[in-house]
Amino acid sequence: MSDLKQFRLPDVGEGLTEAEIVSWKVQPGDPIKVNDVLVEIETAKSLVELPSPFAGTVADLLVAEGDTVLVGAPIIAVETGTGAVAAAAGEAEPDAGTTEPAPSSEPASPAAGGRQAVLVGYGPLTTSGKRRARKQAGSSSGGAAAVSHEALNQAFATAPEEPDPDVPAGDDVEDAVSATPEEAVPATPAAPAPADGNRPLAKPPVRKLAKDLGVDLAEVTPTGPQGVITRSDVEAFAGGGAEAAPVSAPERTYGAPAERETRVPVKGVRKMTAQAMVGSAFSAPHVTEWVTLDATRTMRFVDRLRVHREFTGVKVSPLLVAAKAVCLAVRRTPEVNATWDEQAQEIVLKRYVNLGIAAATPRGLVVPNVKDADQLSLRELAGALGELTATAREGKAQPADMAGGSFTITNVGVFGVDAGTPILNPGESAILCMGAIRRQPWVHAGKVKPRWVTTLAVSFDHRVVDGAQGSQFLADVAAILEDPGAALLH
């Protein structure tokens, strides 16, 4: 006896509403056990692996790699039951006379009280499944979330052996599915083109080919999976299926626009960064102040720490001194470590410092934070900063690492940039920008000498932080970088 179960995209934390399917770790027909990794997804800030709540055999992958899926939408179908579970465990199916109960494939029920757990993909589905739901030709608008067990069973009975590729309409990607030759077309009749006014299903390269050949896609009979028009469909139509209008070849002295431009879909980290920065820039009145200082003593202090036995195995840099300076300066100006609560019309002063460090990664800008950084020693802070930035650059930072930040440092100096006007991380009231430290002529002890000079900039929310408070905070940080011994005064 077998049963078909769907695994729905869970909320992996911090109010996730959607995620991108990065890579499937299983394929239809694969046996799986409970907690086997099924798929790797990309949330707003991190890559997360999802384990299976079921034991059985993978029946179908309901979404394709690269798709953006809403929380609660079915993403995979698993065949469970006695036979499927035994196959997954590598055991023979029990004899008919065996009375041993079959292993349960139901996930554990959530704990009573509080927020209902949705780790294994259960919970209310408040919206339709996929953002771009695949449609059968001539069907209505039902998405993946509305698929019943009977419909899935019917689809499995009639589907070809290879899993149907998804059709990301609108994404500028290459046609990854080769055109189906005429002799390989299944005996079932080809699905007609949509008659309800919907746009014909075809990938961008196929649409471009149709445009170049003067073919109206609405008149082409699709032969691809799910009613998709393939390249061969267009070529066959243009070559003899119907009389295509002659198209004069345009002059392409400098190449067509499509050959000179690249379109990058806005999703994942880039999408969330854009939304956060727009929201912050147009909701919090930003003010930015600068100070240029002599950081020679900091550079000497860093050199001593690098050879100190207590700091063996950890990265020591001027950023470490700046991070410690921020934690100390916050004590005198707590307004820079606060949140503006618009709904309650309150300023929330935080008695802890969750220090965020903006990190440039191949996936985009992420801001993980060191929890309770103000409670750490300098050695502990150095280790925490090193681990956090390394994890972020590897793309392994979890949503919890990015949540709950109270103050952020962005270090543009690593790119050789002198200063900038940073935008606040949403929910925070200040951010410090650290510029490059360069050897420059500087008046020291009445003489012009080459010294290590840098520029700091602080942006703050003027609803929370007054100009005097922002200036005091920046001056305190600068004083510690000019003379690390000044930290003893805080």
Per-residue pLDDT of the chain (490 residues; tens, 9 = 90+): 568 888 998 877 656 678 888 889 999 989 999 989 999 888 765 778 889 988 999 989 998 888 888 888 999 999 887 666 555 555 444 444 444 444 444 444 333 334 333 343 344 444 444 444 444 443 333 343 334 444 444 443 444 444 444 444 443 333 333 333 333 334 444 444 444 446 777 776 777 788 878 888 888 888 887 788 888 888 888 776 444 444 444 455 555 566 777 777 777 776 777 777 777 777 788 999 999 999 999 999 999 999 999 999 899 999 999 999 999 999 999 999 999 998 899 999 999 999 999 988 777 788 999 999 999 999 999 999 999 888 888 877 888 888 899 999 999 999 999 999 999 998 999 999 999 999 999 999 999 999 999 999 999 999 999 999 999 999 999 999 999 998 888 8
Is residue 490 part of the annotated active site? The answer reads: no
3-state secondary structure of 76: strand
What predicted TM-score, i.e. pTM, was given to this entire model?
0.54
d(CA 230, CA 65) in angstroms, rounded, equals 20
> Tokens at residue 448, please?
């012009």
Beta strand spans in 236-285 (E): none
Residue with tokens 């077309």: 185
Each residue of 219-246: pLDDT tens digit? 888 888 778 888 888 888 877 644 444 4
What are the structural domains of the chain?
Answer: 2-158 (2.40.50.100), 182-260 (4.10.320.10), 268-489 (3.30.559.10)
List 149, 308, 444, 462, catalytic entry: 462
3-state secondary structure of 394: coil
Contact present, 21 and 69 (Cβ < 8 Å): yes
3-state secondary structure of 162: coil
Where does 291-364 have alpha helices with state H?
296-306, 318-329
Contact present, 4 and 77 (Cβ < 8 Å): yes
